[in-house]
Amino acid sequence: MKSDATQDSGPVPAEGGEAGSERGPRRQRVQAAETCLAVLKALADLGGRASLTAIGAAVDESPAKVHRYLASLMAEGLVEQDRGGTQYALGRESIRIGLAAMRQNDPIRMAEPALVHLRESLQVTSFVAVMGNLGPTIVRIEEPSLPVTVNARVGSVMSLLWSATGRAFFAFMDDSAQIDALAERELAAAPPARRALLDARQPLQALREEIRAAGCAAIRDTNLPGISAVAAPLFDYTGHVVAVLCALGASGGFDAEPEGKVALALRAEAARVSASMGYRP
């Protein structure tokens, strides 16, 4: 890429030169780097393999210009060309970078800043849960200075149908057969008063559609009396739900509405965490 940047921008000015004389070449180098990255990202968006014409159309540049950038990317091992010379593909260095990013793609670690921000900004208990063998399981929790007295700790297994965390898994996980079987068992074992909280005709389908439409699951006094919660899914780069982010608090001072303050903040944090894991809606 160095030769390409030099070709587009000229030699790098010596240190100590006039500010005006440096600004143009520096900006040209920045623009060259931006175009190079745009070409690389376009190739990724096209499935990792595409023709010169398709890449040019994706970045709105002429094939001749795109070819220069592809040559620089090939020199660095980020792009490869097939033997026929008609297709370009992500190269070994792109794969190495991708694998390094995937090794860091830990939803628990990546959700920690979101947990702290929710705790500090809203003064709520926040936690992240994953789907374990027994059901939704809390794996990381943050409590405010005056925590709510609730039996939610690391290792706690949450109800699938009666907790906000479980409902987020229920609505957004794509392994619906396993999830539906667990939900049906919980529904059958629930007392009549709890079953009455759901749609009587199609309780599971109606609940799933409602949560998906809202983008989060919200409950008030459903799992525990006096406790409300909102939960939203965390997606990885493949679009699969890998964890759920949840905020809970005492019902008296907790806005559990899907468009309320807590839900808006929670969905924003969940979107940021998902984006950091490579998720693109």
pLDDT digits (tens, 9 = 90+) for 172-221: 998 777 788 888 888 888 888 777 777 777 888 888 999 999 999 999 88
CA–CA dist 116, 245 (Å, integer): 12
Q: Is 274:250 a contact under the CB 8 Å cutoff?
A: no
The model's pTM is 0.67
What pLDDT is recorded for position 275?
92
Q: Per-residue pLDDT for 223 more than 50?
A: yes
Of 275, 278, 261, nearest in space to 113 by CA:
275
Report residue 37 as tokens.
Answer: 């990255």
What pLDDT is recorded for position 105?
67
Question: Looking at the domain assignment, is residue 70 inside a domain?
Answer: yes
Of 244, 167, 165, nearest in space to 198 by CA:
167
- Rg (alpha carbons) of the chain, rounded to whole number: 25
- Do 60 and 136 have their domain in common? no
Residues spanned by the domain of 96: 2-102
Q: What is the mean pLDDT of the chain?
A: 83
Question: Looking at the domain assignment, is residue 219 inside a domain?
Answer: yes
Domain end among 76, 102, 128: 102
Question: Looking at the domain assignment, is residue 281 inside a domain?
Answer: no
CA–CA dist 82, 101 (Å, integer): 26
What pLDDT is recorded for position 2?
40
Q: Which residue has the higher pLDDT, 227 or 166?
A: 166
CA distances from 178 to 169, 174, 254, 270 (A): 11, 9, 32, 24
What pLDDT is recorded for position 191?
81
For tokens 């592809």, the residue is 70
pLDDT in tens, 118-158: 999 998 999 999 988 888 999 999 988 776 666 678 888 89
Best-predicted range by mean pLDDT among 28-32, 224-228, 246-250? 246-250
Domain end among 52, 72, 102: 102
Q: What is the mean pLDDT of residues 64-80?
A: 89
- Do 225 and 185 have their domain in common? yes
Q: For position 202, which CATH number holds?
A: 3.30.450.40
Backbone angles phi, psi at 235, to 5 degrees: -105, 145
Q: Per-residue pLDDT for 14 more than 50?
A: no
Q: Is 126:135 a contact under the CB 8 Å cutoff?
A: no
Q: Per-residue pLDDT for 225 more than 90?
A: no
- Do 161 and 269 have their domain in common? yes
- Do 111 and 47 have their domain in common? no
pLDDT in tens, 237-246: 889 999 999 9
What pLDDT is recorded for position 218?
93
Q: Per-residue pLDDT for 13 more than 60?
A: no
- Do 72 and 209 have their domain in common? no
Question: Looking at the domain assignment, is residue 190 inside a domain?
Answer: yes
Report residue 221 as tokens.
Answer: 């006094």
For tokens 């794969």, the residue is 95
What pLDDT is recorded for position 213?
94
Q: Per-residue pLDDT for 48 more than 60?
A: yes
Residues with Cβ within 8 Å of residue 68, at least 6 apart in sequence? 4, 7
Q: Is 89:48 a contact under the CB 8 Å cutoff?
A: yes
pLDDT in tens, 78-121: 889 887 778 989 888 888 877 776 666 678 888 999 999 999 99
CA–CA dist 148, 91 (Å, integer): 52
Q: Is 94:237 a contact under the CB 8 Å cutoff?
A: no
% of the chain surpassing 90 pLDDT:
29
What pLDDT is recorded for position 156?
87
- Do 212 and 134 have their domain in common? yes
- 85-94, 162-171, 269-278: least confidently modelled range: 85-94
Q: Per-residue pLDDT for 251 more than 80?
A: yes
